[in-house]
Structure 1
Amino acid sequence: MGSSTSKAVTGLLCTLTISCPVPISTATVSATRSFQPLPFSSSDRWIVDAKGNNVPVVGINWPGAADTMLPEGLGYQSIANIVQWLTDTGFNTVRLTFAIEMVDDILDNGGDVTLSDTLTQALGPANGTIILADILTNNPEFTANTTRLQVFDAVAAGLAAQNIYVHLDNHVSKAMWCCSLTDGNSWFGDTYFDTDKWIRGLSYMATHGKANWQTFSSMGLRNELRPALTGAPNLQPYTWSTWKTYMTAAASAIYSVNPEVLIYFSGLESDFNIEPAVGGSTLLDPGFSFDVASYEWAHKLVFEMHEYDENISSSCPIYEAILESFGADATTRTTGNRGPLVISEWGHDETDASDAWQSAYTECLTQFMTDRQLGWMLWVLAGSYYIRSGTQDYDETYGLLDHTWSDYRGVNSSAAIKQLVESTYAAYGQ
């Protein structure tokens, strides 16, 4: 970043901190827990802080990788108000998603894009102008010329003000709703998945976060790798050997510019299958072998897994055994690459009428995560999106917050999440 840009970012963050104080009278779940010092590392099956104490990852997803390339919700609430909901619920981590396209614009296409321009491009001139006015009303520290990355910086500053860790996740290359087998973002070499620009983008954000984000704790290499049905000319073979080539190269690139952050490794089949990486080999790809200990960033690796309700089984022992067969035994296995595991996406309809909060899936998964002392990140914070798959102001029933980001979507659902938060901390003796 140039010096003038750095000064602008610094001024923006200071303005945010001064103009958006945290309400002192608000009782929070996490306020009584001490902030665990960075940097974090992996040690055997645990994530540990700078003093060697085990760290629970109690998180939620805040999307920022869709068409606008902005963190969602700012048309309805201020950053400070949204972060206060996170604090009140007890989360200590936010999985903040971004698109490589944002970095490509900065490096290749004339520089970072302003709020005014990105909203106009994504929503059209009329609606873009309306949402811009809403964002500026709720977040007066911004102007029409504030850039996308400056908005990310302000979100990171708001999270740091409440001692919430930033886990930055590369969700897609081309900004859009994820994920399908034909969206061009699926696999290495897909239509929009330029592997060189992907690694460059990860390095850029790792460098930027190190310099600017006080609670930057970790990065996810790629969201939900999956087969691509686009027939893209540069598409690489859908194998674990391909996975190893590119994922280890990306991890090394991040580590070279920011050796402090944890690096999350996702698997195949939309991140449901991480078993070959955990086990170190697979019969489906005889040439594949993976020995985490042989890499200089071995002490930074965390496995991640996604799990939604696929009606696997209503029997918790059977359900857990199936999860383990796909790599959820990462923390307990005695061979291969034993290490920390975070369920970085899981979730369900948050409306009370759905009763999803008390389904067999939710009961079995939450009990499994608590018993195994796994980290987790709920999908999703967002009650609505600026635009999703062409629909503007899209309502998100999986959202913990309601459409206007002003209350919990469900009374029973939010109570169940708070109970899981407490159970997770209790499993760590906190």
Structure 2
Amino acid sequence: MLSQSLPLLALAATALGFPDLPFKTSGSEILTSKDTPIKVAGTNWPGHNDVMVPEGLQYRSIKDIVSDLKSTGMNVVRLTYAIEMIDQLLDEDKSDLQSAFVDALGETEGMAVLRQLLANNPEFSATSSRLDVFDAIVEELNVQEIYVNLDNHISSGEWCCGANDGNTWWGDEHFDADKWVRGLAYMAEHGSSHPLRIPPQPTNTHQGKAWPNLMSMSLRNELREPSNNATLLETYNWQTWYKYMREGAQAVSDANPDPLIILSGLNYDTTLQPVVRGQPLTPGDEVFSFDDFSADKIVFELHNYDTRATNCADITGALYNGGAQAMVPDDETTVNAAPVLITEFGFAQTEYQGVYATCLADWMPDNTAGWMQWVVAGSYYLRSGTPDYDETWALYDHEWQSWRVPEYVEGIFSDSIAATLADNA
């Protein structure tokens, strides 16, 4: 079991100013606890796939991975998780690493990968919990002064996302609204330094520690049409979206009042237009209001994967009209100004000199509150049934040892981070 005390380096960092949490919002800006504007830039570290353990630890130690991330200048990681992780913990009392790997990969392969993970990360054992791993990653990120955006990526632990995967919309096969709310509250409280604010959990619940660098929580990744369910498709609308976003946000703020709350849109998180423009949330006539959420905590997020675009204006125009105009209060159609984060964009790393990659690298620093590239993971324990799946879009190579395309990571990527963070105090 991991130590429940923060390392001295983390305490020293906190004393020197980092993390300056809790953050709040003011118009289109994110402000620190000292009321100074701040932007963030970094990458995604997946922990939501079949094993439901953050990827790559069979190849490297947590400390080494975080040190590599820090070398790029980034100050945030979007750490993803599945609601099923909390369901198994609370309903089945199953959270140990041995079960996690064996259930996903089978006895032989699962134990082999687990042994590699433990060799690289000897602070864990086969009986350590999945949340022990999340805790250790967050702790090391805190030591190296990197914020955490905790993202509920999916309900069932698997690769995301598709229209037929049962995770599309509230009420889908794997997307139980009540368990989603419970999971959000559990993770918010898990990372909180405040007294317990939600009903006590069973005595077998993992007792975690505060996450001092927990900047924000994304309520749900890439909501999308449940195209294989005609009945559920009738509820796929802005009115339903607003109902559940309020419920999820309330669950987070009740459990932990500190994190920013990040709202994603429809169509795989490519549009928030009626929210930003104050238009009716159809089929009802209600409009979005910040008064329905915790004061000064709401941030919008967008995704973009228009990798085949040949014109930068097409990419930035789609982002602007999709919701990034919330960063421009002076636009006469902007009713609800708010910070906007591009929490996912990505491409095969060999295409780093193309229009898509260079366009976003130039545009994001001045037109967003920050961004998180997809993805750091050079490979996955298991993806879509394939063990040790190679990720050609990753910053890392397959074995998480070196950058897949150093010219990109050490050039365009790091330069865009520096430009984004240039004005941070």
Q: Could you state the TM-score of these two structures normalised by the residue count of structure 2?
A: 0.90
The residue number in structure 1 matching 2:152 is 170
The residue number in structure 2 matching 1:320 is 316
1:270-318 per-residue CA deviation (whole Å, 9 max, x = no partner) reads: 00111112122258645241112x1241410000000112534x33334
1:174-219 per-residue CA deviation (whole Å, 9 max, x = no partner) reads: 0000000000001111000000100010000000011421211110
Partner AA of 1:226 in structure 2 = R
Report if aligned partners of 2:281, 2:287 keep a CA contact under 8 Å in 1: no
How many matched pairs? 401
Q: Distance in 1 between matches of 2:421 and 2:99?
A: 43
Q: Which runs of 5 or more residues in structure 2 are unaligned? A: 194-208
Q: Distance in 1 between matches of 2:148 and 2:23?
A: 12
Report if aligned partners of 1:265, 1:303 keep a CA contact under 8 Å in 2: yes
Report if aligned partners of 1:71, 1:152 keep a CA contact under 8 Å in 2: yes
> Cα distance, 1:232 vs. partner?
7.9
Partner AA of 1:220 in structure 2 = S
Q: Distance in 2 between matches of 1:83 and 1:60?
A: 11
Q: Distance in 2 between matches of 1:349 and 1:81?
A: 24
Is 2:120 the partner of 1:122?
Answer: no
Q: Distance in 1 between matches of 2:158 and 2:324?
A: 29
Query: Counterparts in 2 of 1:129-144, with a 5 A limit?
Result: 129-144=111-126
The residue number in structure 2 matching 1:54 is 37
Is 2:394 the partner of 1:394?
Answer: no
> Cα distance, 1:429 vs. partner?
5.4
Is 2:59 the partner of 1:64?
Answer: no
Q: Distance in 2 between matches of 1:232 and 1:200?
A: 27
Q: Distance in 2 between matches of 1:318 and 1:130?
A: 47
> Cα distance, 1:366 vs. partner?
2.1
Q: Which runs of 5 or more residues in structure 1 are unaligned? A: 1-7, 23-29
> Cα distance, 1:362 vs. partner?
1.7
The residue number in structure 1 matching 2:27 is 44
Q: Distance in 1 between matches of 2:281 and 2:289?
A: 16
Report if aligned partners of 2:147, 2:215 keep a CA contact under 8 Å in 1: yes
Is 2:210 the partner of 1:217?
Answer: no
> Cα distance, 1:357 vs. partner?
1.3
Report if aligned partners of 1:308, 1:348 keep a CA contact under 8 Å in 2: yes
Partner AA of 1:222 in structure 2 = R
> Cα distance, 1:106 vs. partner?
1.3
Report if aligned partners of 1:191, 1:232 keep a CA contact under 8 Å in 2: no
Is 2:421 the partner of 1:422?
Answer: no
> Cα distance, 1:101 vs. partner?
0.4
Q: Could you state the TM-score of these two structures normalised by the residue count of structure 1?
A: 0.89
Report if aligned partners of 1:401, 1:408 keep a CA contact under 8 Å in 2: yes
Report if aligned partners of 2:189, 2:255 keep a CA contact under 8 Å in 1: yes
Report if aligned partners of 1:37, 1:49 keep a CA contact under 8 Å in 2: yes
Cα 1:270/1:318, change in 2 over 3 Å = closer
Q: Distance in 1 between matches of 2:281 and 2:247?
A: 23
Is 2:374 the partner of 1:366?
Answer: no
Q: Distance in 1 between matches of 2:22 and 2:424?
A: 21
Report if aligned partners of 1:36, 1:55 keep a CA contact under 8 Å in 2: no
Partner AA of 1:230 in structure 2 = N
The residue number in structure 2 matching 1:336 is 335
Report if aligned partners of 1:59, 1:93 keep a CA contact under 8 Å in 2: yes
Q: Distance in 2 between matches of 1:236 and 1:198?
A: 20
> Cα distance, 1:226 vs. partner?
0.2
Q: Distance in 2 between matches of 1:69 and 1:236?
A: 31
Query: Counterparts in 2 of 1:180-329, with a 5 A limit?
Result: 180-211=162-193, 212=209, 213-231=211-229, 237-282=235-280, 285=283, 287-292=285-290, 294-312=291-309, 314-329=310-325
What's the Cα RMSD here?
2.1
Q: Counterpart of 1:210 in 2: which secondary structure? A: coil
The residue number in structure 2 matching 1:4 is none
Percent of aligned positions with the same letter in both sequences?
Answer: 43
> Cα distance, 1:345 vs. partner?
0.4
> Cα distance, 1:411 vs. partner?
2.0
